[in-house]
Amino acid sequence: MFEHFATGNSLPEAYHNALLALYENNELLPCPDYNTTQKEASVTFVCQEPLAEPMISRLFIGDPRALEQYRQEMLDGILDFEVERGNWEYTYHARMAEQLPWVVSELQRNPDTRRAVISIRKEQDLELDSPACLQSIQYLIRGGKLHCKVLFRSNDAVKASYMNAFALVRLQERIAVQLGVPVGTYTHRANSYHVYERDFGLFEGYIRRIKSGADTTYDYAGDWDEQMESEQASIAELVRQLRDER
């Protein structure tokens, strides 16, 4: 199985380098659970300055509304009520929320700790058709900065990993603010970093865009942050409608 390590200063640079690494060396393998095939490798990508501009990649399926809604789902739990109703098995936020206060207090108690870990995987995942892909998040204060290291058992390279990383960086930033320290590196590890056969064309398009030298990023500050903020009212209305459904 191919093992890749990619780095970048900004989040898009690290993500794009991870896509390139997967493209250059992967295995074409069956994926019987989803009746398809996939290109797969194990990939770790490290972002040196997660909040550096440009922060937004153009190479993901989504727009400012989708990214803002996903950010709110991960950080604020706007759809956690679907778990309470029994419609969903879990949300990442619901699993993180009960552990986050302890993680912050542990980092405050001992800034050198190695124990500040959020475990996403639960015993119930053994019985689920779609168990959680994100497994754990560890926070370390080193050199006076808050570093974040996440582990995915499985991660869709072209349709999920950028949005996952963006939301987890925003969570890292939130915790860093609580602790009064700067944001450090962000490390994203996927044991199975893959592209499904239905997305091979999309993947090829991403790679051509990267290799062409065309613009593949947007600024977050003063551009996407304003667009994302403008979508908050419509997202709140969607959540209200979903809550009112019986």
Residue pLDDT, tens place only, 22-69: 999 999 999 998 999 999 999 999 999 999 999 999 999 999 999 999
Mean pLDDT, residues 150-165: 98
Let me know: does 162 contact 201? Beta carbons within 8 Å.
no
Let me know: does 35 contact 198? Beta carbons within 8 Å.
no
Mean pLDDT, residues 202-216: 97
Percent of the chain scoring above 70 in pLDDT: 99
The reported pTM is 0.96
Return the pLDDT at 234: 97
User: What CATH number has the domain bearing residue 182?
Assistant: 3.30.572.10
pLDDT of 246 over the 70 cut: no
Q: Give the structural domain span for 50.
A: 3-244
Q: Is the torsion defined by CA of 190, 193, 199, 200 positive or negative?
A: positive
pLDDT of 78 over the 70 cut: yes
Number of domains in the chain: 1
Q: What is the DSSP letter of 52?
A: P
User: What is the C-alpha separation between 117 and 125, in angstroms, rounded?
Assistant: 19
Return the pLDDT at 51: 98
